[in-house]
Amino acid sequence: MNKIGVYTSGGDAPGMNACLRAVVRTAIFNGLEVKGIKRGYEGMISNDIIDLDRQSVANIIQRGGTFLKTARSQTFMTKEGRKIAYDNIKKHGIDALVCVGGNGSYTGAKIFFEEYGVPCIGLPGTIDNDLFGTDFTIGYDTAINTALDAIDKIRDTAHSHERVFIVEVMGRNSGFIALDVAIAGGAEGALIPEDQGDWDKVLNHFNNPKRRKKSFSIIVVAEGDEQGGALILEKKLTSMYPDLKIRSTILGHVQRGGSPSARDRILASRLGSEAITALLTGQKSVTVGIVSDEVVYTPFEQAIKGKKSVSESLINLAEILSI
């Protein structure tokens, strides 16, 4: 192996730049050449592939987003698209790949290895923290801190106007962001897809005369919750409790941006470097994660199918602390 290609794919996440920096510098440290593939699989297909050296990744560790840019590619999901991508990879003399992204990006890498035998190491990059094979994903820590900062601000208005605020956070089909942010933000409720009983807990909160004495509340809802998003819940709760002043806020893409936290930079640097170690030691089609502070390799198949569970004890804690 002489030359590797690296790309970011799927939704951007704070820390992706720190990760790219670690991949590039560790590769060069070990005598490898590095190519950067722009816009993930899209760049593989459109041949948007550039040379990277140690200077190309200077002054990016503190920046959000990804300097290689990112995309969700439909064309790569077709056989024809992957054939063009393979031809381009070969043209550039790329022997192996490092992919930073989520489940969709992992799926692309797995199929590509099966079809063309191009080794690929997957690194978990998503704010959602929903990837199997790692305790935390790159971007998650920054995203929860961004959401928390917003909730602290909303709390000021909730308190001053004696209102109920429903705050919708991202997370796709998972409730990691919502649950952590609810606990850290002192919310009265967390609605997450993983907890089927959470709606009743929220209603108990509103129906209990003692709790009703509280002049304001914050309810955090995960965008993928089965009850619906913040706007739907605002309508539903307003019709059920017309005497309450209920407002909703959707935090949206603000959670994806910003300078990565120290935790995310360290995680990203560690994982980026470990991806090169994995390739140098003969790994061909795995993700690299960190579980209980140990580096763990998980075959793509398992990482894609595996379901990471939210902690039951955190669900209980959120309930206990919301009395």
Active site residues: 128
Contact 19, 53 (CB under 8 A): no
Query: Does 71 help bind ligand F6P (rule: CB under 6 A)?
Result: no
| Binding segment toward ligand F6P, per CB under 6 A, in 18-26, 78-86, 114-122, 126-134 | 126-134
* Backbone CA torsion sign across 22, 41, 50, 60: negative
The Cβ of residue 186 has, within 10 Å, a number of other Cβ atoms equal to: 12
Give the DSSP per-residue string, 13-74. Answer: -TTHHHHHHHHHHHHHHTT-EEEEETTTHHHHHHT-EEEE-GGGGTT-TT-SS-TT-----S
Contact 130, 171 (CB under 8 A): yes
Give the per-residue contact string, 221-250, with ligand F6P (x = CB under 6 A; - = no): --x---------------------------
- Choice between 188 and 194, CB closer to ligand F6P: 194
Give the per-residue contact string, 254-293, with ligand F6P (x = CB under 6 A; - = no): --x-------------------------------------
| Binding segment toward ligand F6P, per CB under 6 A, in 80-88, 167-175, 183-191, 301-309 | 167-175
Query: Does 126 help bind ligand F6P (rule: CB under 6 A)?
Result: yes
Query: Does 172 help bind ligand F6P (rule: CB under 6 A)?
Result: yes
**101 vs 40: CA distance, rounded Å:** 9
Radius of gyration of the chain (CA): 22
Q: Give the three-class secondary structure for 139.
A: coil
Query: Does 167 help bind ligand F6P (rule: CB under 6 A)?
Result: no
Question: How far is the CA of 283 from the CAs of 71, 142, 186, 248, in angstroms?
Answer: 26, 30, 43, 47
- Choice between 119 and 185, CB closer to ligand F6P: 185
Nearest residue to ligand F6P by CB is 170
Query: Does 175 help bind ligand F6P (rule: CB under 6 A)?
Result: no
**131 vs 102: CA distance, rounded Å:** 7
Task: Please identify which residue in 5, 11, 43, 175 interacts with ligand F6P, judged by CB under 6 A.
Answer: 11
Could you list the residues that contact ligand F6P (CB under 6 A)?
11, 102, 126-128, 170-172, 223, 256
